[in-house]
Structure 1
């Protein structure tokens, strides 16, 4: 068993040495320069137009989006305040949006 372990270690070392030689030969042969040029071309031809298409899609979706306030329905399981928040008046969440986030008794600025 020990001999098998030594043989496997020798084979592993030999394969690692061979792969190092191949990698150093590839770098010395200018392969790195060609790869860098390929990735630069791909970045400008594929990645940047892809980002532009995604931005256009987001802009068009935002233009179709309505900004109407949802109807307030006083469900008992929503907007439970068992203790006050440690900031502000204690009733609003940390990232409170008065137009979209209702308080327990309704939206702000609306008389009911």
Structure 2
């Protein structure tokens, strides 16, 4: 499968101590430094200004997401619940499903569905759907 050279090289890499394998440690989350000497040029100052602006902007959007979006969602949910209750209050005044007319374009069946009794669609709701059997 593997050549002898590849196997030998892998064994040598594993056998080396950690300090020899990776002498420099990567620091991705190191502390911020201020620029001094040759580092203090226009490019680095502009780059730092962009980072500061990004931090402030992301903080603004985080606050907006928490303090504006959540109350708006709560208000919209309450409004939807009120409209939902009004809608079902109208259904209480309508005649029963069995007495409503069934139009020719409703409940058209060319063959039975393979689930249930074959007459009801996959999203059938007993409260609002009714199919008169001939």
Does the pair score TM above 0.5?
A: yes
* TM-score tier after normalising by the smaller chain length: 0.5 to 0.7
Q: TM-score, normalised by structure 1?
A: 0.61
Establish whether residue 74 from structure 1 lines up as the match of residue 102 from structure 2. yes
Deviation at 1:23, TM superposition (A): 7.6
How far, CA to CA, are the matches of 1:72 and 1:54 in structure 2? 33
Structure 2 residues without counterparts, runs of 5 or longer: 1-43
Match of 1:100 in 2: 128
Seen in structure 2, the aligned counterparts of structure 1 residues 81 and 41 have a Cα distance that, compared at 3 Å, is same
Q: What is the rounded CA distance, in whole Å, between the counterparts of 1:85 and 1:23 in structure 2?
A: 67
Aligned partner of residue 83 in structure 2, secondary structure:
helix
- Alignment partner of 1:85 is 2:116: no
Q: What's the offset of the Cα at 1:45?
A: 2.8
Query: 1-side partners of 2:113 and 2:80: how far apart?
Result: 34
* Aligned residue pair count: 85
Q: Distance in 2 between matches of 1:102 and 1:22?
A: 71
TM-score (norm 2): 0.52
SS in 1 for 2:125: coil
What corresponds to 2:16 in structure 1? none
> In structure 1, what is the Cα distance between the partners aligned to 2:46 and 2:133?
69
CA RMSD of aligned residues (A): 2.7
Gaps of 5+ in 1: 1-20, 107-112
